[in-house]
Structure 1
Amino acid sequence: MPQKSSSAVTVTTPVTPITPKSMMFSSDEEYRTASEGGRRDSIGDWGSPISPSPPVVPHSAIARTKDRLKSSHNRLHKRSQSSPPSSRRSTIDSVQSEEQLLLHINPVQEEVCIDKELQLRLQAAEKELSMLREETHEREARMSELLATLERTEQELTRKRELEENREKLMLQLDESRNNAQEVIDRVTVELDKSRDTVKELEDRLARGIEENESLYKKIREYGICSPASSLCSLNTRSGKMKRMDSFSDLTSLNEVDPSMLDKDMLTDEYQELRARFEKAVSELKAMKRELKESHKICDDLEISYASLKNETE
């Protein structure tokens, strides 16, 4: 008989009965479980980087349940060996009822442990999510700062390129202006040299004309003293070669020629000849003075232009 009772105990395996939650939980517990279940379902909506793992039952609860089942089996085995059949039946019934009670209580404890574990995981996920959000804000701020710095750098580079291009353009314009100024200076220098040569030539011509006039005047005086008739002839022969007179006062200094020794026709001819020579000399002198004055004016203008261009170039 003890053998049969032990085999009966070993054959009976604890099966979790299908009991509705309304029999195990109160309305408050149902509300708490539903709310926590909703929170558990919303974990994925937070975008947590930690993927939810399957619920893990704490080892302590499993160990306690196994110990209770083992102790109940031992007590049942001992009672079945030492007690009569009726007492063994009652013992078996009591043990089975205790096992059923433990099996009813065990899912509740497991559910509570799972809820606590999920709450801890949810808190950790929320904490990590807040840390990730803070890090995201910091990275966005750094990215905005880097973009602003990059934009400022690009603007500075663009401005430097524009300044470099403007500087190159100004350098080209400056070189072109220098070349043009040098050409103008060279041209003005050549014109100034030509004007100086012209002035020098005119001065030489004026000096030669004065010398010729002096020599001719001396010859006229000599011829007038020697023979008045010959003086008229010499004047007639040399009138074509005479080009310049010294001054207006020299034309009237003919006191040494005696007009009384000349007849009327000779006096008339001499007068006409002297008048023609006088008018010609006066016109030539005026022309030479005008040319000399114009040459001096041109020379002064060229010197002023040369000085101004030289100052601008420097």
Structure 2
Amino acid sequence: MLVSVSSWVCPTRWRKGLRSSIYMQALGVARLVNPVSVRVRCSLSSRAVGVQSSRIMTGPTTPKPTLLFRQLFEKESSTYTYLLADVAHPDRPAVLVDPVDKTAERDVALVEQLGLKLLYVMNTHVHADHVTGTGLLKKKIPGVKSAISRASDAEADVQLDAGEKIYFGNLHLEVRPTPGHTKGCVTYVTGEGMEQPRPRMAFTGDALLIRGCGRTDFQGGDASQLYRSVHSQIFSLPKDTLLYPAHDYKGHTVTTVEEELRYNPRLTKDEVRNCVYGQCMFPSVFFLPFYVRNRGSLAYADNQIKLLTLIFFSESCLNLFAEGIQAYYAEYAPNSLSASFTITL
């Protein structure tokens, strides 16, 4: 027999997750029916709320972000470049971290092959051992923006501050300041939300290397500050966080917070002070002016380079740099003169 149903439930009991009994009134007789599952639209008032018998419709859902990740290598300066993209997003937006000028063509080709839209070219710091690929990439891919820490005093479309987030699709990188190698060093860390990549990933630049750390004797470096930066901003991440440095010279590719806490020999207070000095950089770019390295452009006339730099070498480094010094000035300042001299302190 079909009956007309007037159904009510108690919102207090519903909120506690209990099934409510429905009282049916038919032919003037009230009787208790077995508890049933019902869909309820409930306001949080003390009044009874009517049962909604219609289906609850939902709109289209946003696809869960899917990370595409590539680790790329430039062998001359042993530099790692990182490509990240949200390939579940319709636009397939991407970012590139720490590009090198010598591999800009490779990076452009890869972005095109994978059908990505490159939004940002980001640097962890101003590099002393290679020229950034930022300038070339901005010329080759219209609309790309450069990004770097505001503390680096370098030019970029986006000046980043601590705690800021760079979004690409539904993924993002958080900016963590990690000065010490240079005053403007930052580490980029993937988000901590449920839909962000797991385990988390951190791109540490030269602040933290695999079983090592960056040197601190130039560009505003400070060994004590580097120690504090790594311990407070990187080692405070979950222990399974994957750490990707800007360089590696021994064929390593990735490490974790837990591994570096356990095995890194250079991050005790004494070791940071003792071992970060006297490391040699790749010679052919050591003398590049700051603004040339940062912009990734060498389009300067001879008379525009008016920089005199005095650098003190240990004997072990002097021969390594000699060939690079001559090659640099022969190519970029052909009318210059070089001279060697010794200073006794």
TM range, normalised to the smaller chain?
under 0.3
Greater fraction strand: 2
Which protein has greater RCO, CA pairs closer than 8 Å, 6+ apart?
1
Q: Taking structure 2 as the reference length, what is the TM-score of the superposition?
A: 0.17
Greater fraction helix: 1
Q: Taking structure 1 as the reference length, what is the TM-score of the superposition?
A: 0.18
Q: Which has the larger radius of gyration?
A: 1
